[in-house]
A and B are shown apart, each in its own frame.
Chain A
Amino acid sequence: MIFSDSPAIEQNGILDPAKDRIRIRKRGGSTAAQLSLSRWRTSKQNRIYSAKLFDALRRIRQTDSPVKPRSQSVKVAADRALAVTAGGRTRWSNAILAGRSIRRKNRRIRPAGGGERPTKLLSAARRSVKIPAVERKVKFLGRLVPGCRKLPLPSLLEEATDYIAALEMQVRVMASLAEKLSGFAGVPVASRPESDSASPIPS
């Protein structure tokens, strides 16, 4: 019995590394898009994002500014944390990190009174022009993804793929964090608004 057990162990030991190698090779052969998707679904990224979000929320609590509503500041912090987690390797993450300075510059450049009329005229001119349906939808998608307004279609689709995966992770982490905080806070479930319970959050 003893001798019969040892060759089985050796055989299993030999086969397992081969399987691991095969798996590694398959993973190495995947494309950039698949790698980005798998990256956002790993636990490491979840932990990194959650830690950064904790730090951001702590700072918001400490520096409670009366000018901006808290919800807006929390959203901005969450987006910036997501961009930092992405590592600045994508266009949308760079756009989010640079978004505040760009907005300020735009405000300084355009005066309130003089800026409104040209924008109205431009919007009217744009509405008059008819665009094919597919092209119109592509432009709309470009506006939804940060920093991808003037990209060609292949690049836009790539950025959109990465952005959607990142948003899914963000929603997942924020939902779990909200549940935990609400549990520790001791808020009863019955007192919560109906919209919270009715919100369809994908798992």
Chain B
Amino acid sequence: MDLGETEKFGLEKRSVDSLNCNTIGLSTTEWNQIGSLPSPSTSMADSFGHVIWNQLPANTHNLNFSNAQATASSSNIGRPVPLNWNPSDSLTKGGMFLNAGPGMLPLSLSQFPCDVGFTERAARFSCFSDLAYPLTVPGTSDAIAEAQMQKIEAGGIEVLKGRSVLIDQSSNSGSPMKEQREKRASEFSEPEFSEDARDESTNLSKGVFGNNEKKRSNQYMESDQGQASSQLPFGPAEDATDDKQKAEKNSSTMATVKSSGKNSKDSGEAPKEDYIHVRARRGQATNSHSLAERVRREKISERMKFLQDLVPGCSKVTGKAVMLDEIINYVQSLQRQVEFLSMKLAAVNPSIDFNIEGLLSKDLFQTRTVSSSAIGFTPEMIHQQLHPPHQDLIQLGMPGIMNPSDAFRRAPNLQLTSTSGYKEATQQMTNAWDDDLHNVVQMTYPPLKTQDLNGAPRDGFPL
């Protein structure tokens, strides 16, 4: 019983030491990554590892050599793999020691499903380490490496034990773990590149004035990427294309805004042109006004002339005011005459009906006289003119046979023209009368007529 307790305490100490060794191992692996070694030495390291693990308490010289081999094997495996592997291995070892493993095989067999879970967790931790890599500074890494070497030298045997354990576990489960880790690394690497590409495209599209928009777009892209990564692997790419389209739309809207601005400027310029046009119109208006004023003056002067002709006593008047006075006086006098005559007509006796009939008959007579006066002949002249044709007819009838026939022919023509009553007929009558007068004048000369008459019977007698 006492020996069992002492063994238990020893195992606990060893587990604690192994944890410390794991932390030191992480730092050493980093150091190894910085100074990478060639890969062919992996097989040698594995073989020496087994030997050393079997002969741990015996040889110190072998321990130093095994350290060098371990570092080589870790570098050969790959950067994230040993970091992920070390803590799980240490935990499993702790479990073994605590359980007081009399049999090695069943524990090793039971480790495989546990290793899978631990590997997943290690992958997550490796994500953090990957994220941390670009943030590291080369000076700081060198300092860390030196500290690790110092610890190793101080630690001695305990550190060596941890190293050997790590190597063995990695050699046991190398191939499937490596493949899984590589896939995960490739998956995580793709979105990073896509993000970078998106950022560059957005920067180019937006230009200098889009800083705030860039920041917002980055935030939205990160959230979209998270959702897409949880749902589909190709989601972020689609989001990137959408963002590009949005950027193009924004640029098109900016172009439309600029074009609308130009249109607004053009519309602003249009009223200026209208204003200029209005000035031209003003000039034209002045010209038309002057023309209208001129026309008005001409009308006034023309009508004043008519009034001068119409109003008695205004023919010699020149001033406008004086002429208006004369016109006013004349109109007033005419109106007074109308009033006087209306009073006179009102004072007539009641026998107006009979008087009107008589007046109508007289009016008819006056119309005849007016018509004759219009033609230019007075009644006396008409009577005087009517007498000569009768005398002419009588005289013509006396001398011979041919002349009376001509006279009779002329007489009905004259009567027809007189009865027609038209102006043309009256003019023809006047012409006829003139001809008759000429004939009378010719007949008044007796020697000519007697000679003609004497000549005519002589010609008749010989026949």
Among residues 112 to 164 in chain A, which have CB atoms less than 8 Å away from a CB atom of chain B?
133-134, 137-138, 140-141, 144-145, 153-154, 157-158, 160-161, 163-164
Contact A154 B334 (CB under 8 A): no
Instruction: Choose among B303, B339, B360, B435 the residue that contacts A158 (Cβ–Cβ < 8 A).
Output: B303
Contact A177 B345 (CB under 8 A): yes
A170 contacts the other chain (CB 8 A): yes
Contact A185 B348 (CB under 8 A): yes
Contact B306 A37 (CB under 8 A): yes
Q: B326 to nearest A CB, angstroms?
A: 10
Bitwise interface map of A from 8 to 25 toward B, beta carbon under 8 Å scored 1, else 0: 110011001000000000
Contact A37 B342 (CB under 8 A): no
Q: Interface segment, A54-62, A83-91, A100-108?
A: A54-62
In the complex, chain A residues whose CB is within 8 Å of the CB of B340: 195, 199
Q: A189 to nearest B CB, angstroms?
A: 14
What CA separation (Å) do A57 and B303 show in the bound complex? 36
Q: A130 to nearest B CB, angstroms?
A: 15
Bitwise interface map of B from 310 to 354 toward A, beta carbon under 8 Å scored 1, else 0: 111000000011001101101110110111111111111111111
Chain A residue nearest in CB terms to B438:
A5
Q: A123 to nearest B CB, angstroms?
A: 20
Instruction: Choose among B310, B359, B427, B435 the residue that contacts A165 (Cβ–Cβ < 8 A).
Output: B310
Contact B355 A174 (CB under 8 A): no
Contact B355 A184 (CB under 8 A): yes
Contact B355 A180 (CB under 8 A): yes
Chain A residue nearest in CB terms to B439:
A1
B370 contacts the other chain (CB 8 A): yes
A65 contacts the other chain (CB 8 A): no
Chain B residue nearest in CB terms to A199:
B340
A98 contacts the other chain (CB 8 A): no
In the complex, chain B residues whose CB is within 8 Å of the CB of A153: 300
Interface centre among B307, B338, B367, B435 (most CB of A within 10 A): B338
What CA separation (Å) do A181 and B345 show in the bound complex? 8
In the complex, chain A residues whose CB is within 8 Å of the CB of B332: 144
Contact B356 A54 (CB under 8 A): yes
Q: B308 to nearest A CB, angstroms?
A: 11
Instruction: Choose among A58, A134, A140, A170 the residue that contacts B356 (Cβ–Cβ < 8 A).
Output: A58
Contact A133 B321 (CB under 8 A): yes
What CA separation (Å) do A159 and B121 show in the bound complex? 118
Contact B338 A157 (CB under 8 A): no
Q: A124 to nearest B CB, angstroms?
A: 24
B289 contacts the other chain (CB 8 A): no
Contact A137 B321 (CB under 8 A): yes
Instruction: Choose among B300, B311, B349 the residue that contacts A185 (Cβ–Cβ < 8 A).
Output: B349
Instruction: Choose among B307, B346, B370 the residue that contacts A161 (Cβ–Cβ < 8 A).
Output: B307
Interface centre among A43, A153, A157 (most CB of B within 10 A): A157
- Assuming the contacts A174-B342, A180-B355, A181-B348, asked whether A16 and B303 have C-beta atoms less than 8 A apart, the reply is no
What CA separation (Å) do A161 and B310 show in the bound complex? 8
In the complex, chain B residues whose CB is within 8 Å of the CB of A73: 346
Q: How many residues of A contact B (CB 8 A)?
A: 65
What CA separation (Å) do A168 and B331 show in the bound complex? 10
Q: How many residues of B contact A (CB 8 A)?
A: 56
B216 contacts the other chain (CB 8 A): no
Contact B431 A9 (CB under 8 A): yes
Contact B338 A167 (CB under 8 A): yes
Contact A58 B353 (CB under 8 A): yes
Contact A160 B352 (CB under 8 A): no
Among residues 278 to 321 in chain B, which have CB atoms less than 8 Å away from a CB atom of chain A?
296, 299-300, 302-304, 306-307, 310-312, 320-321
Contact B303 A181 (CB under 8 A): no
In the complex, chain B residues whose CB is within 8 Å of the CB of A110: none
Q: A154 to nearest B CB, angstroms?
A: 4
B182 contacts the other chain (CB 8 A): no
- Assuming the contacts A54-B356, A75-B338, A157-B300, asked whether A178 and B362 have C-beta atoms less than 8 A apart, the reply is no
In the complex, chain B residues whose CB is within 8 Å of the CB of A201: 337
Among residues 168 to 203 in chain A, which have CB atoms less than 8 Å away from a CB atom of chain B?
168, 170-171, 174-175, 177-178, 180-182, 184-187, 195-196, 199, 201-202
Instruction: Choose among B331, B362, B367, B424 the residue that contacts A164 (Cβ–Cβ < 8 A).
Output: B331
In the complex, chain A residues whose CB is within 8 Å of the CB of B334: 164, 167-168, 171
B406 contacts the other chain (CB 8 A): yes
In the complex, chain A residues whose CB is within 8 Å of the CB of B337: 171, 199, 201
Complex A-B: 27 CB contacts under 8 Å = A31-B302, A37-B310, A43-B367, A58-B352, A58-B356, A69-B346, A70-B346, A71-B339, A71-B343, A71-B347, A74-B342, A78-B338, A141-B331, A144-B328, A144-B331, A145-B331, A158-B303, A160-B331, A167-B334, A171-B334, A171-B341, A174-B338, A181-B348, A181-B359, A182-B348, A184-B358, A185-B355
Interfacial residues, chain B to chain A (CB-CB below 8 A):
296, 299-300, 302-304, 306-307, 310-312, 320-321, 324-325, 327-328, 330-332, 334-335, 337-356, 358-360, 362-363, 367, 370, 406, 424, 427-428, 431, 435, 439
Query: Ordered nearest first, which 6 A-B pairs have the shortest CB separation?
Result: A157-B303, A75-B342, A70-B346, A174-B341, A184-B355, A167-B334
A12-B427, A73-B346, A171-B338 known; 5 new pairs, CB 8 Å cut-off, are A9-B428, A9-B431, A71-B343, A154-B303, A201-B337
